[in-house]
Each structure stands twice: as C-alpha cells, then as structure tokens.
C-alpha cells in the first residue's frame, strides 16, 4: 500500500515514501517544518491543505501509470508584500518535463492562491526555489 493525498477533483497524488529498514512499513514524506502540507494539483490547478490524517493508502496498481515520469517538488515562492520575508511553500507532483518557471506560475496561480503565513500571495514572474523531494539518508526526512 502506498500513501496518497486526494485532491477535491478526485486525483490521487502520490506522496514520496520510504520503506523503514527491517520492516514492511512505509513512511510517507511529510515536511519537517509544518503540520500541514499545501498541495497543488497539476490536473485541476486547485490547491488544498492536508494533514497527516488525510493520507490514504492505495494499492500500487491503482496509482496513475504516468507516475514514473513525475517529480514531487517542494516549491518556495517569494511573497509579493513589501518587507514580508515569509516564504510561500507548496508541493506539487508534476511531469518531469515542466520547467521551473512553469511550475512556479502554476503554483502561484492555483485556486485558492497559496499564501505566506502573513496571508499574502506570491510575486509573479519570479523564479521559485524548487527542491525535489526524495529521501536523503536512512532516518532524516527532507525539509
Ligand atoms: Zn485536482
Ligand atoms: Zn508574506
């Protein structure tokens, strides 16, 4: 069974995960700096907020066949409010062919728009910081 988060449109978005050593347990990725994850659906362009309890477990066979050619990104955008330095963080699983600029635009324009902790939206036409989420080391979750 593999961890997914489900968009309002019904799209199942697979979370990166790792197998815990010596067990058959699967540990889903979760940001270390937040209890929630903001996920943008590359299918319908909606953004949604999920908690750990929102994770659903599905059979590998039911996951989208396009999965191997997608990348799960942590996307950090720059806040549009002057003097605000809080990051806008969202995650997206998207085709590996999409450029950084396209991904940034897609995330900044999602509905509702992802905001910083102060409630402000992202500056458009700024290159986002993109971090590919994958497991580093045996015990550390990536930020
Ligand atoms: Zn969707
Ligand atoms: Zn801000």
pTM of the complete model: 0.86
Q: Which residues surround ligand 1, an ion (CB under 5 A)?
A: 7, 9, 11, 41, 43-44
pLDDT of 124 above 90: no
Q: Which ligand is nearest to the CA of 12?
A: 1
pLDDT at position 63, please?
60
Rounded CA-CA distance 106/109 in Å is 5
Which of 40-49, 97-106, 124-133 shows the lowest mean pLDDT across its residues?
124-133
pLDDT digits (tens, 9 = 90+) for 57-91: 988 766 655 555 889 999 999 999 999 989 999 99
If you measure from the C-alpha of residue 114 to the centroid of ligand 2, how many angstroms do you get, rounded to a whole number? 11
CB crowding 111-142: b at 16 or more within 10 Å, else e: eebbbbeeebbbeeeeebebeebeeeeeeebb
Backbone torsions φ then ψ of 38, nearest 5 degrees = -95, 120
Higher pLDDT, 18 or 44: 44
Which of 20-24, 107-111, 118-122 shows the lowest mean pLDDT across its residues?
20-24
Higher pLDDT, 62 or 54: 54
């Amino acid at each position: 069974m593999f961890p997914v988060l489900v968009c309002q449109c019904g799209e199942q978005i697979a979370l990166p995960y790792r197998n815990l050593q010596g067990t058959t347990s699967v540990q889903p990725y979760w940001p270390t700096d937040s209890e929630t994850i903001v996920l943008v659906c590359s299918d319908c362009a909606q953004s949604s907020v999920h908690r750990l309890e929102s994770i659903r477990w599905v059979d590998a066979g039911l996951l989208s066949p396009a999965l191997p050619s997608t990348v799960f990104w942590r996307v950090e955008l720059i806040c549009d409010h002057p003097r605000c330095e809080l990051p806008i963080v969202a995650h997206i699983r998207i085709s590996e062919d999409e450029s950084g600029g396209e991904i940034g635009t897609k995330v900044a324009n999602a509905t509702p728009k992802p905001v910083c902790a102060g409630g402000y939206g992202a500056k458009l036409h700024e290159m986002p910081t993109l971090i590919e989420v994958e497991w580093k080391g045996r015990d550390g979750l990536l930020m």
